[in-house]
Structure 1
Amino acid sequence: MFRLVRFWARRWARGPGAPQVVLTVEAVRAAGADAGVNDVARQLGLDQSGASRMVSAATGAGYLERARSTTDARRTVLRLTSAGEELLGGARGWQRETFDALTAHWPASDRERFAGYLKRLADEVGA
């Protein structure tokens, strides 16, 4: 597992956007419509201050914006900007292309089965 993580991390650094920014934007998307910093912290397994720094970086880069909650005007929530949507689209496309390139010599049935197992593992660990 560590070899795979190192392998992907090295390639991700050359992919679209800094890994921390992509993770932050993805955490906001996964947390839902009224996501806040604490939701990002839970999604990423971080403390609130670490998540706050990551949110600030993603906001400063123009991928997130702060807005008033539609359900509680006292609350500030995070929303993806159009640049954030594009970043996620690019990151997901890069992941698909990289997976396809790495498994190009595999039979299609093996590729589909492996992708299914990866999704299953991610779902089971709550990723």
Structure 2
Amino acid sequence: MSNDQADQQQDPTNGGPALFRLVRFWSRRWINTASQELTGEPRHVQHILAVEAVHTAAKHSTEITVGTVAHHLGLDHSGASRIIRDAVEAGYLTRLPSPQDRRRASLHLTDPGHSLLHASHQWQNQTFTALTATWPPQDRHQFATYLNRLADDLSV
């Protein structure tokens, strides 16, 4: 690695490597903990992903379809369809014929789905608070503001 490359990685204004270091660290670690605590099953994180995707998509669309969920989760149609099928069977989502096109399904959160979503958001907030517990409140607030801004800009 050249000195220029090393300096670029050490530059505190270069957030790309730090962002992806966090993504790599958390992408696998949160799954079993969150799923076990929120669904009672360590392997049902897909239920959390499904309710989060439907909830987020509802902010931008009047009808949520399998394709919408696939887009929000970065999956192909068949992968999203399986996750949705499992979430419907678990009682977190309903799948009704679309009023616009009977060939499509329209997805909605059920009461248990709303409860899971609420519990998921509480767990996420507790995790954020724990990770930033040693930070001054203003830093925690500013970081949260930037994270929300980034997520909003990406519409995720």
Q: 2:93 aligns with which of 61, 64, 83?
A: 64
Structure number with bigger Rg: 2
TM superposition score normalised by structure 2: 0.72
SS in 2 for 1:62: coil
Structure 2 spans left out of the alignment, 5+ residues: 1-18
1:101 aligns with 2:130: yes
Indicate the structure whose relative CO is greater, using CA pairs within 8 Å and at least 6 residues apart. Answer: 1
Structure 1 consecutive aligned stretches of length 4 or more whose deviation exceeds 6 Å: none
1:73 Cα offset (Å): 7.0
1:30 Cα offset (Å): 2.0
Q: 2:51 aligns with which of 3, 25, 39?
A: 25
TM superposition score normalised by structure 1: 0.86
Superposition RMSD on alpha carbons, in Å?
A: 1.9
Change (3 A) 1:95 1:50: same
> Which residue in 1 is equivalent to 2:144?
115
Partners of 2:53 and 2:146 lie apart in 1 by 22
SS in 2 for 1:77: strand
Partners of 1:39 and 1:11 lie apart in 2 by 24
Q: Contact (CA 8 Å) 2:66, 2:105: kept in 1 or not?
A: no
Structure 1 spans left out of the alignment, 5+ residues: none
Q: 2:33 aligns with which of 14, 21, 30?
A: 14
Q: Which amino acid aligns with 2:68?
A: D
